[in-house]
Structure formats: structure tokens, C-alpha cells
Amino acid sequence: MIRREFQEYLDKLDLRSNEIEDYWILYDRIFEPNSPLTYKQKANLLLFELRKMKLN
């Protein structure tokens, strides 16, 4: 998921600003440069973490 797609996803969630910051911190942590993960692994990890955040 590229940044633009992630921003569109966040816009649909209708979150408070502090929640949005938490989502972007998560995104940046997963998609950090020089990560040993493949793009598919990063995307799956992001989806897994987003589901956990949504349940809380």
C-alpha cells in the first residue's frame, strides 16, 4: 500500500487527529527504508496491525 492509498484509507475511517498520528507511525515503522521485508510482507504486516488497532 503506497502512502496515497493509505491516506485515502485513513480518510474513510473518520479518525481523530491523535489516532491518525498513531496510524502514520505504524505505517512509517513498517515501510522504513532498508527493511529486510518484501513489499508483500510489509503489506500483510500492515493489514494485520490495522486489524488489531481497529479491534481496540
DSSP per-residue string spanning 8-28: HHHHHHT--HHHHHHHHHHHH
Nearby residues of 9 by Cβ (< 8 Å), 6 or more positions away: 1
pLDDT number for residue 48? 93
Q: How confident is the model at residue 53 (pLDDT cuts 50, 70, 90)?
A: confident
Decide if pLDDT at 56 tops 80.
Answer: no
Q: Using one digit for the tens of pLDDT, what is the confidence trace for 1-37? A: 889 999 999 999 888 888 899 999 999 999 999 999 9
Number of structural domains in the chain? 1
Exposed/middle/buried for residue 27 (C-beta within 10 Å: 0-12, 13-18, 19+): buried
Residue 15: which residues within 8 A CB-CB, separation 6 or more? 23
Q: Domain containing 37: what range?
A: 3-55
**CA-closest candidate to residue 31, choices 13, 17, 45:** 45
Q: pTM (2 decimals)?
A: 0.81
